[in-house]
Amino acid sequence: MTGFICIATETLPAGLLPQISAGMGISQAVAGQMITAYAVGSLLAAIPLSIATQGWRRRNVLLLTIIGFLVFNTVTALSPNIALTMAARFFAGVSAGLAWSLLAGYARRMVAPEQQGRAMAIAMVGTPIALSLGVPFGTWLGSLIGWRFAFGVMSALTLVLIAWVLMKVPDYPGQARSQRMPLRRVFTTPGVRPVLGVVMAWMLAHNILYSYVAPFVAPAGLAGQVDLVLLTFGTAALLGIWVTGRLVDRLLRRMVLLSLALFALTTLAFGFWAQSALVIYAGTVVWGLTFGGAATLLQTALADAAGDGADTALSMNVVAWNSAIAAGGIAGGFLLESRGVASFPWAVLVLVLLGLALAWSARVSGFPAGHRSSSRAVVAH
C-alpha cells in the first residue's frame, strides 16, 4: 500500500492537468511541473536520507515516510497558490525517495533468505496496481468531484495505512554503526554497478515508450484508446509480477535475460508494424509482462550483491530509476520532435540490447546463475 501511494501520488497530476490548470489559473505546462518537482525531491533525498536513517528503527522510518505523504498531499489539496503546491510536491517526493530505499530491504527482513524474492514481489505489487487502476480511478474521481478531492483521498488512504502499520507491521532495529558501509564501498561492491547499469538502460527504454505512449499508438488508429492500451499494460504487469514472485528465488538470472530478450523482440515488432493495432496490443501485453517483474528482479539482484549495504544500494536504485524517468521524458521528447514516433522502437531496442549485454556479462556477481540460496555464497565471496 505504501508503494501504491508513492506511485499514485507521483502520477496523479498527469491525468488532472486540465482541472489543475483551470483551478489554479496556470498553464498545463506549469501544472505538469508538479510531477517534475516530485521526481526531483526523490532524486535528491533518497541517498542522504537513507544513510541518515540507517541506525533508526525500521518501523519509525516507514511511519515517517507515510506521515510525509499525509502532510504534503493534504497541503497540495488545500494549497491556494502554485508556489506552495510545488513545495508540497517536492517534499512528497522526498518522502517517496526514502520510502523506496526502505521498502525492499524491510520486506527482505521479514522472511527467510530463500523467500526474499517472493516477499519483494508482494511488497512491490502496489506499483502496477497504481499504474493500471489507481491513476485512471484518481483521474475519473478528480474529473467528477475535483482535483483537490483526489489528493484528499490520498491523504485518507495514508491515515488507514498508518493505523495498519501500527497494528500489524513488525519492527526491526537499524544497522549498528559497525555494520554500516560507506557509500563508495557499496558502489564499488562487485555486482552493484552492473545491476545499476541494467536499471538505467532498461528503465530509460521503458520510459521513452511509456511517457509518449499516446503519440506512439496514434498511427495505429488508437489515439482514442490510450486508456485501454494503458489498462492492457497494467493488467499484464500484474500478471508479470505474480509470475516473478513464483520464480525469482530460483531463476532470477534467467528471468532478467528472458524479460530483456522479450522486450527487445517486442520493440523490433513495433519497429516494423507500428501501424497495426493488433501488433500494438499484443506487444503491449508482452511489454507489460516483462516490466511487471522488473522492480522485483532488479532490486533483489542489487540487494543480494550489496549484502550489508543493501539499504544504501537500494537508495542508489531510487536515484537511477528516477533519473531514467526524467531522461526518458527528455529523450522521448527530442526523438518525437526531431525524428517522429517511428524512431522510438529503434532507440528503445538499442537500450534494451545494452541492458541485455550488461546482464549477460554479470554472470559471477550481479546476476549469478542458479538458485539464490546457492548463488549468495558466490556473491558474498
Q: How far apart are CA 179 and CA 182, in angstroms?
A: 10
Q: How far apart are CA 94 and CA 47, in angstroms?
A: 10
**Residue type present at position 87:** A
Q: Residue 121, Cα to own-chain centre: how many angstroms?
A: 13
At 126 the pLDDT is 83
Architecture of the domain delimited by 181-381: Up-down Bundle (1.20)
CA angle 321/125/299 to nearest 5° reads: 40
Rounded mean pLDDT for each run of 10 residues along the chain, 381 residues in total: 90 79 83 83 87 88 96 96 94 92 84 82 79 71 85 94 94 73 81 93 90 84 81 87 87 94 96 93 94 89 84 84 81 85 93 96 87 52 36
CATH 1.20.1250.20 domain position(s) in the chain: 1-178, 181-381
At 180 the pLDDT is 62
What's the grid cell of residue 142?
A: 478528480
**Residue type present at position 156:** A
Q: How far apart are CA 135 and CA 154, in angstroms?
A: 11
Architecture of the domain delimited by 1-178: Up-down Bundle (1.20)
At 77 the pLDDT is 95
What's this model's pTM, rounded to 2 decimal places?
0.79
